[in-house]
């Protein structure tokens, strides 16, 4: 009986099956990419070819037609079992076509032909374009970007620096979160689409970290980088206020990131179950699995894993219950924040439990997992990335959850 | 947006709605029954009248037709919000008609007319009969009863003592787990149906405990208590081996017990949210909710509650995914043990998290919750009952989970 | 080999020995006082006669001459093993003669004859007088009392209400923390000495709580209660600012309260070790102690207990290292706050670990501990009082520790 | 006020002062040695020159005369602040002269001239010789070595393989734990002294691990390596039974290893306190330290650190209370096992809390600590080594503690 995170639709089952196949392949190269700190371009190519990258695209555009967040979540979980770096890189892209499809379906349902055509055009472009997000900056939070777009002839000049640019080595376009001056003298919060190779846009090739070393999460610099008007959205929210769509993506796509961490944990578990079921030690030479110390550690590992899986799957179900019955234009920021609150509870627990599972697998390995040649040592480093991920780090999550629970709103005192 | 444990069918929704109404009523008397240690006969009567006690009976017999375990779980969760003692008492009965209905449907599907008629007869009886279980004994585990049935003319003589006889004050029949001599000289594991008032069957009226004081969990003594053949099942398993049906009930009905603990936790949460959102303290006289200490505690409470809810709901889903696609005769002990293993992971975490939630509510109350007049002090005592409940206490759970995970079987070294 | 909290002087050893004898005696009545909610006057009498109440008095006044905080801590630990309620009640008094002795020694060392005589007079009075503290109020923190002293002819009129008046049934004088108007229009923080029987001072005989039911922690009302000038200190700090002496007492005496919780935990441990080393269960009938589930729970209990003991003893050592080398007049509020910060770390962990130890003992009891007749059920209720105790509840402790660690001062945003 | 682990003698204070100076120096090279995986020979040289390596040697032999375990513990704590790898490497040696000094003093006290001269000779040799231990083997526990000494003309032939040979690059002699055939046909447990360069003794230069990369913990192979009789002790215990001296060293020296982990944690804390007290972030640009999320995380870090420090210092005190009043010949295995049990409680908590402190520092760094250039990323890898260290890993510790607490002896079922 399999207690993995489950897909919930046929499209999701196809998606998960593909992801499982990729994972088996990616696993063979994960340690080498980790050692080299090299980006797995061949993995991303394979994901493009199989359709995983376009999972959320409508079937009529060659996509897999994945709509349910739980399906996305289950897929990333499987990819995470093979290579965490590739999973989080791929996930950077996958959310975008999925969300634009929501916009398109909404426009169609509302008979808004103009928007329908526009979004369909984007979807067509996304069949052959890899996108990623330039969100994080040193020195501020994602809601308050300091990267700035200033108006110029026919467009905008972008200046700033982004870090943690996961997937940038393979991305054709980076969606850069920024601020821009408004007529009222305040800043607006927005984002620009910046194609790779744009003058003034530099990828700094400086990703060298504890883990997720194959995720290409380098920094990017924008120096008077020109962005034409059609690649910039000036009809957005105030600086500091995430628009509803961004919250929708943050909840949905980031649940999948947490699920990738579960995949890493599951890989660690598999490695160590193999070990203790086959290895014997003196003096008794009985299987390690027959020692009570191993049994109790294993039970505790199982409990942690069950916790992480349950919370992620249930949060995905709650998101689907809402998004599945609300077109994008019917989604409210308030309700998305309630789902965000639930996700933050899940993220707080699940990402930590994934770390705990790998840590316990390390313990169960009896020291062997501490050697660099043992994949556990990579998993231990990779899985630690989880809590840093968007939205809300552990430094912020409790303030967000607590204040919202008590009816004090969703803004932080930061 | 409501993150409560959800029912999944229309029958379940009706059931949950009834349970919510009862809970509001029961809550008004819970503290008094606790103080007095009195049994809430009026609550059980009300549950009989509304149909909650017969939730699992087929609709043609006047039942609510609840089939899904998740529905049972959601209902007990709601009852637990009103009065934990009544919830665990009612739950003692509810599993039986639900399971006998499974037996009946199985017989019908298999065209086994004899069993179909027999089980239908039992279901008819259950429309007007309250049953409970005499399972636990001091000095042994439920799989190894020392209470003994010895053959006599036309039936069996039962001798032994049972403790934790929840619901016995209102039960018409107690299902007494016992052993009996087999022809091969070994003992068999079985159960006898013993009507209240049977000669030799004494209820000891000795329930006086830390919490769950209104659950009537007194001890029972059987002294040469005659049980006619038709009330005893001699075609069962070996002593020490639970039959598949018993495991099925233990997983399903006990998930509902854990959900009742969640109800207690939710009640505690509600009380304390009310407090901190309305109470002010010097020197600032701002609302308690505006203090960071309160916000962080509240966030931690929410996280624990989300954990408990998620695990219970997901375990119920896993059970329903299996039981919903397997008739009773198709259910295997091995697969039920896998579901039991998952439930044990859930029980380990969820029952503890419910205790933590009430404990944190106590902290948030700032001392007020420690007074006897404050319902929190009852909830603190009631919720501690959770980990003791069947199947597998925390003393046994990790051995069970660990050994099973490692392929070493489901038997404990006890 | 004994890993109990250790006394560090000969005086401390005598004190601890006395406490151990009392504990054995008190244990025989603890359950009855708990059931009745009655105050153990006979215990307090015994403690007065043996000299425990006057432990901190100089030997020349018939005291035990206990100076080291670690000694006080070890003694309360032993009393807690016998009866938590009596321990926390006695501790209310014991800190006062100990601290006044510090004041007296300081005055003598400074050749301040006037203060030396005055404090010596108080010490003489304390040989025959039991005092306790009226500190806590609903609706505010101890630093910001709302109980008010207003000036009147020859003294002050006291108005207000105090809760958690532990030891009041046996106290001759209550030290009531209050505020009073200052010439600058602000409030001062101070305390008044109010003898039992003073007109306008009512003991409300309303203590009825989850645990510590024999501690007499009733509420008190002051209605125009006259306090003569000599019983009131008008030379104190601002409202909201604890004076250095109060912080000194709060750190020292409250460490002893945490140690009493350890005593409760040790009692629970002892009960359950006896149980599992003597009780057998079917089917194997081997000792419970021989089951791995019991061994692992026991190890976890031991680890928690070792944690609590270590932290309390070490915090006491840090306090003694400072107070032992500084006369009272040399003590600075800043340094006492550093010791308070250390104590708060200890309190956060140790009080919780004591709860965990009793909880685990409950688990190890296998259900037996849940019955009212089992002392474990009392210990489970008693030990929960720990976190509420002064200074700083879990709602405040992290703000205090965190801000102070980061150099942001010791004031809370409350 | 400093809450660091304290030395308790003047010799200890001198030792700790030296260690602090070294730590400041070693810190400047720690990251480079980590990157390169190179052994810090220059650090070990410096420790030899300053006298740290010979801390436990009598002053008349040029040692620092450190006797108290708490002093050793405090010193390693300080070294750990500078470079964890160097600390654990140095600690491999330091325990030996300390223990041989105990043997020598014991012989002197017993007027056993022969042993006194012999041990004094060893101490003289240790003034210029670095030793380390070849203890761990894949496939067995330290009590059951498979490395075998077989008798030959004038000595023994050693065969086997050891792993985790910390300090071997700088060691002149390796003490190799092994077994040997006894006349009764059983194996004895013993150890051989093997000088570097002995034929048949190969250092495999294969240390490449997650952390502690500069500790030189390579594997060693012994192939018919000749050990003369005078370098082998054939008067020892049975295979599987550690002799009392070994337990004494395991408790004492390994407490110092746990203290080195505390040093790592303290370093992480220092780094992150600096960060949050100086760094500002948009939108408010207030100091990170002024955010409640930072304050609460910091408080939790402080609490964990206080826990680790307290337990280690207290366990050291318990060891000193015993060893300080018992000559080596008066030490019993039973009592050392009680101290080992206490140390195991401490190790279980403290090593985990050190991991938690570094983990929380990583969180507080807000992502910066995840970069390879940030020392936190090394500390995160280094501190994870703690739980693997002797004696008893987390896979074994609870069985050992639990069984011993319950009077079931000190042997494990392995």
The string of pLDDT tens digits covering residues C183-193 is: 889 999 999 99
* Separation in Å, CA D161 to CA B357, D145, D223: 52, 10, 9
Burial D326-351 (b: 16+ CB within 10 A, else e): bebeebebebbbbbbbbbbbbbbbbb
DSSP state for residue B355 in the 8-state scheme: H
Of all residues in chain D, the one with the smallest CA distance to C4 is D318
**C-alpha R_g of chain D:** 22
Measured between CB atoms, which of D139, D281, D385 is closest to A370?
D385
Q: C309, D313: Cβ pair inside 8 Å?
A: no
pLDDT, tens digit, 9 for 90 and up, residues D360-403: 999 999 999 999 999 999 999 999 999 999 889 999 999 999 99
pLDDT, tens digit, 9 for 90 and up, residues C183-231: 889 999 999 999 999 999 999 999 999 999 999 999 999 999 999 999 9
- Contacts of residue C81, Cβ cutoff 8 Å, sequence gap at least 6: C20, C23, C27, C263, C264, C266, C267, C270
Q: A295, B406: Cβ pair inside 8 Å?
A: yes
Distance CA D203, CA B192 (A): 71
- Contacts of residue B2, Cβ cutoff 8 Å, sequence gap at least 6: none
Q: At what angle do helices A244-278 and A292-323 cross, to 10 degrees?
A: 160
Distance CA B145, CA B142 (A): 6
Please choose, from the candidates A396, A11, C248, A275, the residue with its C-alpha nearest in 3D space to the C-alpha of residue D294.
A396
Distance CA D263, CA C50 (A): 46
Contact residues, chain A, for D368 at CB < 8 Å: 138
Task: Using CB atoms, list chains with 3+ pairs below 8 Å to chain A.
Answer: B, C, D
Q: Which residues pair with A228 in a beta bridge?
A: A155
Mean pLDDT of A313-335: 98
Contact residues, chain A, for C292 at CB < 8 Å: 292, 295-296
What does the CA dihedral D322, D328, D331, D332 come to, rounded to 10 degrees?
A: 150
* Separation in Å, CA A403 to CA A337, A398, B3, D87: 12, 8, 17, 45
- Contacts of residue C102, Cβ cutoff 8 Å, sequence gap at least 6: C248, C323, C327, C328
Does the N-terminal peptide bond of residue A134 adopt cis geometry, omega within 30 degrees of 0?
Answer: no
Distance CA A278, CA C327 (A): 66
Contact residues, chain A, for B311 at CB < 8 Å: 306-307, 310-311
Q: Residue C234 pLDDT more than 90?
A: no
pLDDT, tens digit, 9 for 90 and up, residues C351-367: 999 999 999 999 999 99
pLDDT, tens digit, 9 for 90 and up, residues C128-161: 999 999 999 999 988 999 999 999 999 999 999 9
pLDDT of residue C71: 98
**C-alpha R_g of chain C:** 22
In 3-state terms chain C splits into helix, strand, coil percentages (rounded to 5) of: 55, 15, 30
Evaluate whether C365 touches C281 at the Cβ level (below 8 Å).
no
The average confidence (pLDDT) of chain D is 97
User: Which helix or strand (DSSP H or E) is residue A195 part of?
Assistant: strand A187-195
Q: Residue D235 pLDDT more than 90?
A: no
Distance CA A95, CA A54 (A): 9
Q: C398, D299: Cβ pair inside 8 Å?
A: yes
- Contacts of residue C387, Cβ cutoff 8 Å, sequence gap at least 6: B363, C347, C351, C352, C355, C393, C394
Task: Using CB atoms, list chains with 3+ pairs below 8 Å to chain C.
Answer: A, B, D
Q: D292, A413: Cβ pair inside 8 Å?
A: yes
Distance CA A81, CA A2 (A): 15
Contact residues, chain C, for D306 at CB < 8 Å: 311, 342, 345-346, 349
Of all residues in chain B, the one with the smallest CA distance to C287 is B414
Q: B335, A289: Cβ pair inside 8 Å?
A: no
Distance CA A305, CA B64 (A): 36
What does the CA dihedral D225, D227, D231, D234 come to, rounded to 10 degrees?
A: 100
Evaluate whether D131 touches D174 at the Cβ level (below 8 Å).
yes
Q: Half-sphere exposure (CA, 13 Å, Cβ side) for C154?
A: 3
Of all residues in chain A, the one with the smallest CA distance to D293 is A395
Tokens at residue C48, please?
């007065």
Q: D363, A393: Cβ pair inside 8 Å?
A: yes
Measured between CB atoms, which of D292, D294, D414 is closest to A291?
D414
d(CA A262, nearest CA chain C) in Å? 27
Mean pLDDT of A91-118: 98
Is the alpha carbon torsion for B326, B328, B329, B335 positive or negative?
positive
pLDDT, tens digit, 9 for 90 and up, residues D110-162: 999 999 999 999 999 999 999 999 999 999 998 999 999 999 999 999 999 99
Q: List the single best residue of C2, C297, C302 to mutate versus D (max D Cβ within 10 A).
A: C302
Q: In this structure, which long-range contacts are made by residues D286-292, counting pairs with CB atoms below 8 Å and at least 24 apart in sequence?
A: D288/D366, D289/C406, D289/C407, D289/C408, D290/C408, D291/A395, D291/A413, D291/A414, D292/A399, D292/A413, D292/B292, D292/B295, D292/B296, D292/C399
Measured between CB atoms, which of A297, A346, A407 is closest to B306?
A346
DSSP state for residue D345 in the 8-state scheme: H
Q: D297, C402: Cβ pair inside 8 Å?
A: yes
d(CA D298, nearest CA chain A) in Å? 10
Measured between CB atoms, which of B276, B322, B402 is closest to A299?
B402
Distance CA D375, CA D371 (A): 9
Evaluate whether D315 touches D348 at the Cβ level (below 8 Å).
no
d(CA B249, nearest CA chain D) in Å? 34
The total number of residues written for chain A in this structure: 414
SS (H, E, C) A319-373: HHHHHCCCCHHHCCHHHHHHHHHHHHHHHHHHHHHHHHHHHHHHHHCCCHHHECC
Distance CA C94, CA C90 (A): 6
Q: C139, B283: Cβ pair inside 8 Å?
A: no
pLDDT of residue C236: 81
Distance CA A152, CA B96 (A): 75
Measured between CB atoms, which of B139, B164, B291 is closest to C414?
B291
Q: Say if residue A325 is exposed, middle or buried (CB neighbours under 10 Å; 0-12, 13-18, 19+).
A: exposed
Contact residues, chain A, for B307 at CB < 8 Å: 307, 311, 345, 349
- Categorize the per-residue pLDDT at A270 as very low, low, confident or very high, splitting at 50, 70 and 90: very high
Question: Got the DSSP string for A76-128?
Answer: HHHHHHH-HHHHHHHHHHHHHHHHHHHHHHHHHHTT-HHHHHHHHHHHHHHTS
Evaluate whether B225 touches B232 at the Cβ level (below 8 Å).
no
Evaluate whether B165 touches B212 at the Cβ level (below 8 Å).
no
Of all residues in chain D, the one with the smallest CA distance to B295 is D292
Q: C281, B140: Cβ pair inside 8 Å?
A: yes
Contact residues, chain B, for C406 at CB < 8 Å: none
Please choose, from the candidates B334, B344, B354, B346, the residue with its C-alpha nearest in 3D space to the C-alpha of residue B396.
B344
What ipTM score was computed for the predicted complex, to two decimals? 0.98
The average confidence (pLDDT) of chain A is 97
The total number of residues written for chain D in this structure: 414
- Categorize the per-residue pLDDT at A234 as very low, low, confident or very high, splitting at 50, 70 and 90: confident
Q: At what angle do helices B244-278 and B333-364 cross, to 10 degrees?
A: 20
Measured between CB atoms, which of A281, A366, A371 is closest to D209?
A371
Task: Using CB atoms, list chains with 3+ pairs below 8 Å to chain D.
Answer: A, B, C
Of all residues in chain A, the one with the smallest CA distance to C296 is A296
Q: C406, D341: Cβ pair inside 8 Å?
A: no
Q: Is C407 left (phi over 0), alpha (psi -120 to 50) or beta?
A: left
Q: B293, C399: Cβ pair inside 8 Å?
A: yes
Q: List the single best residue of C292, C297, C300, C398 to mutate versus A (max A Cβ within 10 A).
A: C292
Please choose, from the candidates B344, B362, B264, the residue with its C-alpha nearest in 3D space to the C-alpha of residue B305.
B264
Q: Half-sphere exposure (CA, 13 Å, Cβ side) for C237?
A: 14
Question: Tens-digit pLDDT profile for chain B (414 aa)?
Answer: 999 999 999 999 999 999 999 999 999 999 999 999 999 999 999 999 999 999 999 999 999 999 999 999 999 999 999 999 999 999 999 999 999 999 999 999 999 999 999 999 999 999 999 999 999 999 999 899 999 999 999 999 999 999 999 999 999 999 999 999 998 899 999 999 999 999 999 999 999 999 999 999 999 999 999 999 999 988 888 999 989 999 999 999 999 999 999 999 999 999 999 999 999 999 999 999 999 999 999 999 999 999 999 999 999 999 999 999 999 999 999 999 999 999 999 999 999 999 999 999 999 999 999 999 999 999 999 999 999 998 899 999 999 999 999 999 999 998
Q: List the single best residue of D290, D292, D399 to mutate versus B (max B Cβ within 10 A).
A: D292
- Categorize the per-residue pLDDT at A235 as very low, low, confident or very high, splitting at 50, 70 and 90: confident
- C vs D, Cβ pairs < 8 A, gives 134
Mean pLDDT of D321-348: 98
Please choose, from the candidates C397, C386, C262, the residue with its C-alpha nearest in 3D space to the C-alpha of residue C342.
C397
User: Which helix or strand (DSSP H or E) is residue B101 part of?
Assistant: helix B84-109
DSSP state for residue B143 in the 8-state scheme: T
Q: Say if residue C366 is exposed, middle or buried (CB neighbours under 10 Å; 0-12, 13-18, 19+).
A: buried
Is the alpha carbon torsion for C394, C396, C401, C402 positive or negative?
positive
Q: Helix or strand or coil: residue C389?
A: coil
Q: D139, A282: Cβ pair inside 8 Å?
A: yes
Please choose, from the candidates C66, C120, C59, C118, the residue with its C-alpha nearest in 3D space to the C-alpha of residue C94.
C66
Q: In this structure, which long-range contacts are made by residues C278-281, counting pairs with CB atoms below 8 Å and at least 24 apart in sequence?
A: C280/B139, C281/B139, C281/B140, C281/B141, C281/B414
d(CA D292, nearest CA chain B) in Å? 7
Q: A307, B309: Cβ pair inside 8 Å?
A: no
Mean pLDDT of D232-249: 91
User: Percentage of chain A surpassing pLDDT 70?
Assistant: 100
């Amino acid at each position: 009986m399999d207690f993995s995170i489950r897909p919930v639709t046929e499209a999701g089952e196809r998606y998960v099956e593909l992801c499982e196949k990729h994972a088996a392949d990616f696993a063979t190269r994960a340690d080498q990419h980790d050692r080299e700190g090299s980006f797995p371009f061949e993995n991303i190519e394979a994901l493009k070819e199989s359709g995983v990258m376009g999972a959320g695209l409508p079937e009529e555009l060659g996509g897999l037609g994945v709509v349910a967040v739980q399906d996305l979540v289950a897929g990333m979980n499987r990819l995470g079992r093979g290579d965490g770096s590739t999973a989080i890189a791929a996930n950077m892209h996958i959310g975008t076509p999925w969300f634009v499809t929501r916009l398109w379906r909404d426009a169609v349902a509302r008979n808004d032909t103009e928007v329908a055509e526009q979004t369909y055009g984007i979807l067509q472009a996304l069949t052959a374009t890899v996108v990623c997000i330039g969100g994080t900056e040193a020195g501020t939070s994602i809601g308050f970007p300091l990267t700035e777009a200033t108006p110029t002839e026919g467009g905008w000049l972008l200046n700033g620096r982004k870090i943690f640019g996961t997937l940038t080595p393979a991305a054709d376009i980076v969606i850069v979160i920024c601020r821009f001056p408004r007529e009222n003298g305040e800043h607006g919060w927005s984002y620009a689409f910046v194609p790779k190779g744009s003058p003034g846009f530099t990828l700094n090739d400086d990703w060298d970290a504890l883990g997720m070393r194959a995720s290409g999460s380098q920094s990017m610099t924008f120096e008077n980088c020109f962005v034409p008007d059609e690649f910039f959205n000036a009809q957005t929210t105030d600086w500091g206020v995430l628009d509803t769509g961004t919250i929708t993506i943050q909840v949905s796509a980031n649940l999948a990131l947490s699920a990738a961490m579960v995949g890493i944990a599951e890989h660690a578990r598999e490695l160590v179950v193999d070990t203790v079921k086959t290895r014997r030690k003196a003096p008794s030479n009985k299987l390690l699995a027959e020692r009570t110390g191993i049994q109790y550690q294993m039970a505790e590992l199982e409990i942690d894993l069950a916790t992480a899986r349950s919370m992620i799957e249930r949060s995905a179900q709650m998101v689907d219950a809402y998004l599945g019955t609300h077109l994008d234009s019917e989604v409210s920021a308030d309700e998305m924040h309630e789902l965000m609150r639930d996700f933050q509870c899940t993220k707080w627990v699940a990402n930590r439990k994934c770390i705990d599972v790998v840590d316990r697998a390390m313990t169960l390995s009896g020291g062997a997992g501490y050697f660099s040649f043992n994949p556990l040592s990579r998993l231990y480093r990779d899985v630690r990335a989880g809590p840093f991920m968007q939205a809300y780090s552990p430094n912020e999550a409790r303030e967000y959850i607590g204040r919202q629970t008590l009816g004090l709103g969703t803004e932080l005192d930061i």
